Amino acid sequence: MFNYSGMKSAITPTLHGDIKIDQNHFGMIPASAEDLKNPLNARNIFFNVEGTIWNVTGLTPYQKSFPDEVTLDNGLLYQKILRNNSQFEVNITSFVPTNDRWIELHKVVFKNKSTQSLKIKTVVGIPIFGRSADNLRDHRHVTSLLNRIHIVSNGIINQPSLSFDERGHHPNTYAYGVFAKSSKHQSISKYWPKLDEFIGEGKDLFYPNVVVNSVHNSYQVGDVFEGYEAMGGIEFDQIQISPNEEIEFIIAFEIHSNIDSLIQYQSELSKLDFDRLLEENKVFWKNDLITTDFKIKDIPLSGWYRHVGIQPLVRRIYGNSFLPHHDYGRGGRGWRDLWQDSLELILKDPHTVRDNIVNFFRGVRIDGSNATIIGEKSGEFKADRNKIVRVWSDHGAWPFVTVQFYLNRTGDTTILFEKQGYFKDKFSHYTKKIDMDYDGENGSSLMTKEGVSYLGTVLEHLLVENLTAFYNVGKHGNIRIEDADWNDGFDMAKKAGETVAFTHLYVGNLKNIVSILNHLKSQGTKRFSFFEEFELLLNDNNQIALSPSEKQEKLQRYFNAIQHQVSGRQTDIFIEDLIQDLSFKASSMMENLSRQEWNELGEFGSFNGYYDNEGIRVESLEEPVKMTLTGQVFPLMAHNASKQQIEKIINSANKYLYDSPPSSYRLNTRFGVNKMNLGRFMGFAFGHKENGAFFSHMTIMYAYSLLDNGFVKEGTKILDDLSNYLLDINQSKILPGIPEYISPDGRGMYHFLTGSASWVIITLVEQIFGVYGSFGDFVFRPHLRSHHFMDTLASLHVLFNGKTLLIQYMNPNKLDYGHYEISEVRCNNKLLETKKDAFTLKKGTVLESEIITIILGEKK
């Protein structure tokens, strides 16, 4: 649960999780996956019902012996829990409002279902952490001595006196509060600001003394307590509830940068209209996420896609650090995350994403490497999360994939000519050398010899990334793996390892850059201006293929030339010369891949994906078979495989990588003994994480690539099988959405840690519904199967010319793919001109209606 103002909550059906706005401001104790099993750190709301202790979390001795009947309504960024027993039921609704406040709200409705009146005492008991996540293990008790706990009319506020940091302490203004109101009480009867006092000597939050017994204190509004762990302990007097009668409580947890403002806000708690705010929340997110509103197959699947569709946005807000499974580092997203998440966001809001894309290029170094962690502010980058500076060999490939998608959806080629700086720090030569002349005086800006911050075009940045990768090859002519590629687990082959898989993607990039240059040429572009040293990355040997050692020598000359700064002088390069150069680079590298990296054995075939740190080929179809899904996906995605090769890849993947349940593909086969020459993944248990898990990201890209190559039935089956498995919560053991991977016991792990969600939505839009862009034109070429229709309808929303269009496919005869063609297209009941295999909506077309209906008829 979150909002755009920075409120970040994690909540489970048992109300575990945490609340925070960033690494240094956690309202509740930071929760990792294992902490969710701990009954203590939760949003506790206790009821003492006729002497029996009951909690909304379901975690009391009574509830363990006599479990409630529980129903979960997992809405879009809100949650409803209904707990039922023979005497009463309790509804708990939770959400974060879409306003500019850091507040989490809960409505708890207790209803007496019995035929007798019930005496209940209600106690809210939520621990207030109120400091940095660092203090969970670093000076936990010492930082509690900073706490200043205030009792106010509606609750309890903790405002620590300092932000504790031994490198330099800072005054703290942030305040954290728990507040409550009751529909049947005029005021709170007792306040419990100290955790130890709330639970009682030798006891805990599982069975706290204040709830179990009648405990007296004389605390009142205005009291301040210093130096204790803070507790949001709020007690209401015992009250009698008649049969069928209800009592309602509103509970709020709020963080604010100013305690006076927080007190003022919470003095208005009695006026808070929970239901109105919840309805506003639902409407806001429905409209904000309209481009993920699909009608496909049935209501459960359509709803599942809505939850998948929000995941890229969630990762933009939370990064990789602020959810229980996502305990990576101290906040921020990684380089790959920026570009992967932007794919789906381009569908939603391309104009905002345009600005982001331009800013993201600020993280590229002039040597083609990049900063790996993105700060909170626009254009803020850091070398690495853990101050271990590394180069991922795939990082230079993803920016182009995203820019190409943006260009095709919008036709906005002007983005290629936008100017942006380069990231500069002390590292050069793909971080293998130190620039001894760098003093940090100019921050992270690359300078010219004249002392001016250098700015280059987006196109220039893209070329630098892809051309430096082209030259950075190992002895077999494939791109060096460096510290890892997309698979972070391949991180022990820096000396001699090669990533054949991503060599394919870079070749595909070069081919696609040529296509864009040809488009620009047709629009009248004749030449480009680049920094003078850029020419070192172009061929100077009359298009004769260079050996791996010659490529490295050429790359080192470039690195030496730009180690500290650039000259500032520009050089003009004709578009024809650039097209010729890149075309030759792509074809020469592709020739090498085709000649030496294809494995074939009868009806089976696969591409080798890697070389290890001894320069030995990793994959083979000879027994024992070694195969990676990654090694197959990128040749397909780059259109580097023939139809016959793809058929053999499908056979191999089905035999060696497919498994059921969950009816999906493993990332790799068993690689045997860990020789410490490929990566840490070999140390993981097989079937977990990067070692042979059912890895959603690569599986979805495999489905996309099959569909993109015309293998419709095979591609749709992959997506269908995975979504069907994940929809069944009893077997996937995960709430709606797509996880990073599925563990050997069938559990979905790590919501939205990878770019899986973006690729699900892109696959659905471009390949299943067949709505893809071509320099701003929209082409509709559906791959919908007969089971994808809700009776005879399948629909989606797309953004075109700044307007949201509803695209309706009608299949009155319920025909399967391959048996239908487009018979007519209507807009406002007016026929539009179309071809039978595809309908094209030209960029700039003015439509009379925002609904387009495409009718599918029998193929003739």
**What is the residue range of 60's domain?**
8-283
Whether residue 598 is contained in a domain is answered as no
The pLDDT tens digits of the residues spanning 256-307 come to 999 999 999 988 888 889 999 999 999 999 999 999 999 999 999 999 999 9
Total number of domains constituting the chain: 2
pLDDT at 328: 65
The pLDDT tens digits of the residues spanning 815-839 come to 999 999 999 999 988 999 999 999 9
Residue 334, pLDDT > 90, answer no
3 state SS of 413: helix
What is the arithmetic mean of pLDDT over 506-510? 99
Q: Which of 224, 258, 283 is the last residue of a domain?
A: 283
Rounded Cα–Cα distance for residues 88 and 211 (Å): 18
- Work out the pLDDT band at 137, boundaries 50, 70, 90: confident
Residue 336, pLDDT > 70, answer yes
Whether residue 51 is contained in a domain is answered as yes
Whether residue 134 is contained in a domain is answered as yes
What is the arithmetic mean of pLDDT over 711-732? 97
CB 489 within 8 A of CB 630: no
Encoded tokens for 324: 């229980």
pLDDT at 38: 74
pLDDT at 329: 62
Range name among 347-356, 399-408, 630-639, 714-723 with the lowest pLDDT average: 347-356
CATH code of the domain containing 30: 2.70.98.40
Whether residue 691 is contained in a domain is answered as no
Question: Residue for token digits 């075939």?
Answer: 605
Rounded Cα–Cα distance for residues 33 and 30 (Å): 10
Q: Which of 261, 283, 305 is the last residue of a domain?
A: 283
Whether residue 17 is contained in a domain is answered as yes
3 state SS of 730: helix
pLDDT at 753: 65
pLDDT at 387: 64
Q: Which of 497, 527, 522, 525 is nearest to 609 (CA)?
A: 497
Residue 351, pLDDT > 90, answer no
Whether residue 815 is contained in a domain is answered as yes
3 state SS of 750: strand
pLDDT at 384: 63
CB 323 within 8 A of CB 316: no
pLDDT at 378: 67
CATH code of the domain containing 821: 2.60.420.10
- Length of the chain, in residues: 860
pLDDT at 525: 98
- Work out the pLDDT band at 169, boundaries 50, 70, 90: confident
DSSP codes joined into one string, 174-208: -EEEEEEEESS-SS-SEEEEEHHHHH-TT--TTS-
pLDDT at 543: 76
- Work out the pLDDT band at 757, boundaries 50, 70, 90: very high
CA distances from 797 to 153, 485, 776, 782, 794 (A): 48, 34, 16, 14, 11
601 beta partners: 604
What is the arithmetic mean of pLDDT over 534-556? 90
Of 138 and 201, which is predicted with more confidence?
201
The pLDDT tens digits of the residues spanning 171-209 come to 999 999 999 999 999 999 999 999 999 999 999 888 899
Mean of all residue pLDDT scores within the chain = 94
The pLDDT tens digits of the residues spanning 580-599 come to 999 999 999 999 999 999 99
Whether residue 677 is contained in a domain is answered as no
Of 331 and 307, which is predicted with more confidence?
307
To 5 degrees, how large is the angle CA 18–CA 215–CA 230?
30
In the chain, the percentage of residues whose pLDDT exceeds 90 is 86
Rounded Cα–Cα distance for residues 788 and 32 (Å): 38
- Work out the pLDDT band at 341, boundaries 50, 70, 90: confident
Residue 695, pLDDT > 70, answer yes
Rounded Cα–Cα distance for residues 659 and 401 (Å): 30
CB 691 within 8 A of CB 682: yes
Q: Which of 538, 532, 529, 582 is nearest to 561 (CA)?
A: 532
What is the arithmetic mean of pLDDT over 771-779? 97
Q: Which of 283, 303, 336 is the last residue of a domain?
A: 283
Whether residue 436 is contained in a domain is answered as no
pLDDT at 755: 84
- Tell me the pTM: 0.94
Encoded tokens for 236: 């209401």
Residues near 218 by beta carbon (within 8 Å), at least 6 away in sequence: none
Rounded Cα–Cα distance for residues 286 and 292 (Å): 9
Q: Which of 562, 572, 573, 571 is nearest to 449 (CA)?
A: 562
